[in-house]
């Protein structure tokens, strides 16, 4: 029987994956791996990996030449070393389009919440204060310029949602040609995005180029009283630099669904700042999107084992499934 390792998961129930693989006649090994050594130990005899957060790279691919595919539960695949996979001929696949509506709507919800100070109103009321000025000044959204960093599927959907609400929509994405920008989105440089936008939403992938891209220097270019939202990947933002910029009062509100280290540590300085709104890496989530996400990631493996081609490849491999 063909065998697959589910490297790790934070779902409360993985009966969906068990049924998909059982129906396909595939044995599923379940783990909670935190290191490549643990992945290697549990993947003996496996042909593919179903990966959530476990690190998978050169060490795994070298030690397990029988593994031909790593399928990521998610659109981003930064936990899998794509370059190492390509060197070893390993396929990498993902679930690219499962939660476009959910993430873009969550990002807009966070942005409107920090602009309108909804969470701070709620905290003030619970603390016994009832007044419309309790959280400070609130600008009119229709007068603001919203900026988007990364104009892929989710960035474009966010722009579509934001366009009727804000005065102007600008974006930076160096990998899109001019014709791929919607007519209502103005293309700007990275620095101009941070200089001109009153509120910025981050929607780019995490890779070597974007890790730490939103630095203290870039954040310091923003106008006093600006807003920042990140629903992409935590490591895109230098959170230590963000904390320092928050001390200067340049930012009026920050919404973060993702952080470089998750869950957030209880003594993290962002937790004590009332301008910071946090959610637990949940922007992707709806009942329907979670099912779609998990099914697509699992079916990448089922179809690769069946015909040598995953549904959503991001690295084309040369390793073949077992006969």
**CA 257 to CA 277: how far, in whole Å?**
8
Q: Is the pLDDT of residue 52 over 90?
A: yes
161-176 mean pLDDT: 97
**Residue 323: pLDDT band by 50, 70, 90 thresholds?**
confident
Which DSSP helix (H) or strand (E) runs through 196?
helix 190-196
**CA 174 to CA 151: how far, in whole Å?**
9
Q: Which residue, among 105, 136, 104, has the nearest Cα to 123 in the 3D structure?
A: 136
- Let me know how many helices (H) and strands (E) the chain has, helices first: 11, 13
Superfamily of segment(s) 2-98+287-315: NAD(P)-binding Rossmann-like Domain (3.40.50.720)
pLDDT at 150: 98
93-109 confidence digits (pLDDT tens): 999 989 999 999 999 99
213 DSSP 8-state letter: -
Q: Which residue, among 148, 138, 152, has the nearest Cα to 168 in the 3D structure?
A: 148
Largest CA distance in the chain: 70
271-282 mean pLDDT: 96
pLDDT at 218: 98
**CA 290 to CA 316: how far, in whole Å?**
26
Q: Is the pLDDT of residue 64 over 90?
A: yes
29-38 confidence digits (pLDDT tens): 999 999 999 9
**CA 232 to CA 97: how far, in whole Å?**
14
Q: Report the CATH number of the 100-278 domain.
A: 3.40.50.720
pLDDT at 1: 87
Task: Domain ranges for the chain, please list them.
Answer: 2-98+287-315, 100-278
- Could you check whether 2-98+287-315 and 100-278 share the same CATH topology? yes
pLDDT at 178: 86
* CB-based contact 105:161 (threshold 8 Å): yes
Contacts of 100 (CB under 8 A, 6+ apart): 153, 154, 157
What does 280-306 look like in DSSP terms, one character per residue?
-S-TT--HHHHHHHHHHHHHHHHHHHH
Token pair for 312: 């959503």
């Amino acid at each position: 029987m063909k065998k697959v390792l589910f490297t790790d998961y934070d779902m409360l129930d993985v009966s969906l994956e068990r049924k998909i693989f059982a129906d396909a006649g595939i044995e599923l090994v379940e783990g909670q791996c935190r290191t490549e050594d643990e992945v290697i130990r549990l993947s003996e005899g496996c042909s593919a990996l179903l990966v959530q957060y476990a690190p998978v790279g050169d060490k795994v691919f070298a030690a397990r030449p029988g593994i031909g595919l790593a399928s990521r539960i998610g659109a981003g695949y930064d936990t899998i070393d794509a370059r190492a996979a390509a060197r070893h001929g390993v396929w990498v696949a993902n679930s690219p389009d499962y939660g476009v509506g959910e993430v873009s709507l969550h990002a807009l919800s966070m942005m409107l919440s920090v602009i309108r100070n909804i969470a701070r109103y709620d905290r003030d009321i619970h603390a016994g204060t009832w007044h419309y000025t309790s959280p400070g000044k609130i600008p009119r959204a229709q007068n603001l310029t919203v900026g988007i960093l990364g104009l892929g599927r989710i960035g474009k959907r966010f722009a579509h949602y934001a366009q009727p609400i804000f005065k102007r929509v600008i974006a930076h994405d160096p990998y899109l040609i001019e014709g791929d920008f919607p007519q209502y989105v103005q293309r700007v440089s990275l620095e101009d995005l941070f200089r001109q936008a009153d509120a910025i939403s981050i929607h780019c992938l995490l890779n070597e180029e974007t890790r730490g891209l939103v630095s203290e220097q870039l954040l310091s270019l923003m106008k006093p009283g600006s807003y920042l939202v990140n629903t992409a990947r935590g490591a895109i933002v230098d959170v230590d630099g963000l904390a320092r910029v928050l001390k200067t009062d340049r930012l009026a509100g920050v919404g973060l669904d993702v952080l470089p280290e998750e869950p957030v540590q209880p003594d993290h300085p962002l937790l004590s700042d009332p301008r910071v709104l946090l959610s637990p890496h949940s922007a992707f989530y709806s009942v329907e999107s979670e099912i779609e996400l998990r099914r697509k990631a699992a079916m990448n493996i089922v179809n690769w084992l069946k015909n040598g081609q995953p549904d959503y490849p991001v690295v084309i491999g040369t390793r073949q499934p077992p006969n």
